[in-house]
Amino acid sequence: MSIVLFVCTGNLCRSPMAEGLLGERLAARSLAARHHVQSAGTWAADGEPASEPAITVMAERGIDITGHRSHALTSDHIAEADLILVMGQEHARVIRSTWPQYEWKVRLLSEMSGKRRDIPDPYGRPIDDYRACADSLQRYIDAGMERILEFL
């Protein structure tokens, strides 16, 4: 089974939403048994639920992330992942400087769709910012799905 790891800062908003979105897309293609989706944060505390606005925005899309609990990024996460999709250049820099032997696994999520853009963090912002973030995540995942699968 291959593993896709989404990484953001606190593992409360962007990466749990991306995890839910990709998980739903894989299930729709009957690929969930072959690919596992995880998320972690470069500055995350373990065991925190996803932020309420993230839960709400995903529920609006029919995706339940209420069971999500945050994870601090570890060496095991990095070693076990087949593809590490980060939300921003800073996340990539942290991973590449801490685990240079795995730099080849790290990509910006936006790169999967041929772009090279950071996805802004909606944490602490109005719910419309979460909706805009989820729209970006969904757009990059949908447009980059074939490329994501190629890496796995």
Instruction: Enumerate the active-site residues.
Output: 8, 14, 121
Residues 148 and 112: beta-carbon distance below 8 Å: yes
Q: What tokens appear for 97 in the block?
A: 């400087």
Report the C-alpha gap between 78 and 86 in whole angstroms: 12
Structure tokens at 138: 């969904």
**Which token pair is 32?**
């969930």
Closest to 100 measured CA to CA, from 117, 72, 80, 75? 75
User: Residue 24 and residue 98: Cα distance in Å, rounded?
Assistant: 31
